[in-house]
Amino acid sequence: MSLEMTYREALAKSIEEEMQKNPEVFIMGEDIGRYQGTFKVTRGFVEKFGSRSANYNYRILDTPITECGFTGIGIGAAMAGLRPIVEFMTMSFSILALDQIINHAAKVHYMTNGEVKCPIVFRGPGGAAKQLSAQHSHSMDGWYAHVPGLKVLCPATVADAYGMMKSAIADDNPVIFYENPGLYTVKGEIPDDINYTVPIGKAQILREGKDISLVGYSRMTQVHLAAAELLAKDGIDCEVVDVRSLLPLDTETIYNSVRKTHRAVVTYEDWRSGGFGAEIVSRIQEDCFDDLDAPVVRVGGLNVPMPYARNLELLCIPSEEDVVAAVHKIR
């Protein structure tokens, strides 16, 4: 059996189930309690986990507006044996906690010779939502995927949001869990199985094809699926590769697809210059050069601060039309 729900509901269900199973799991962040979260992922949580009781003793922690402070508290709790989930109101605000995440969470296991673990999940909306302007629209997934010691997950589907969150909470390493706000209302099905998980570090093929590989992650995977439908009308059979996990990166699935189709377009919402998609392009061209019949094309966001005006905002974010144009360049 399966259950239909939105991406947001799948995240909430996954977190709630893991908190019910494990009293060491708790969640902290700005406005996640009474306000129920900026994007309402924690709707109803304070009533279930915030009351004084033997089993659920204040496990929904509203924090002050101090990302560096509550991130450090979460890391300390993880080092002490708990499994915190730190929600950032927007992942753009995690910039204020980079020292805690990169210099401490990502390195403590290595610097203690494996004696100290840091099982913590840093999660929240990353990327453009709708007119949140320049300071609230960063796609920082590639920044974190640059850091050894972290795991970086960018689920694109409802089932993956559900199953990968469970895997992230269970992992003994610090995990960056990226939720594009454009996916929160997307509907899909999840297995009716409380123990369902999705493995970390494994890409997937969401659409089989023979002519060209469309490689992406997070909301850009949904853009690829829409572009593939448009390209099918032109007789171009696209294979859609959903990367899912940036760190660790499953290059085998990507390479196998490219070796089959001999062409690739890589799309990412981050700024085109230096975004993680450029890393994927580089690896394909280094390791699959002899299999390519055309250069790999990358489609990224414009290298400008995100505008507030909706018409300008849309111009900065890759669309299915941009992907279609990129495919026609190498067909």
Distance CA 13, CA 44 (A): 11
In terms of Cα–Cα distance, which of 133, 226, 123, 138 is closest to 168? 123
* Catalytic site includes residue 67: yes
| Alpha helix segments (H runs only) across the chain | 7-21, 45-49, 67-79, 98, 108-111, 141-144, 158-170, 219-232, 251-261, 276-287, 310-316, 320-329
- DSSP class of residue 233? T
Beta-strand pair 2-6/187-191: antiparallel
Distance CA 163, CA 25 (A): 16
Question: In this structure, are residues 79 and 117 in contact, taking their beta carbons and an 8 Å threshold?
Answer: yes
Q: Which of 18, 30, 67, 87 is catalytic?
A: 67
Could you give the maximum distance between any two Cα atoms of the chain, in Å?
64
**CB under 8 A, 24+ apart: contacts of 302-308:** 302/271, 302/272, 303/271, 303/272, 303/273, 305/134, 306/128, 306/132, 306/133, 306/134, 306/137, 307/133, 307/134, 308/131, 308/133, 308/134
Q: Which of 24, 136, 146, 262 is catalytic?
A: 136
Phi/psi of residue 212, nearest 5 degrees: -160, 145
Catalytic residues: 67, 136
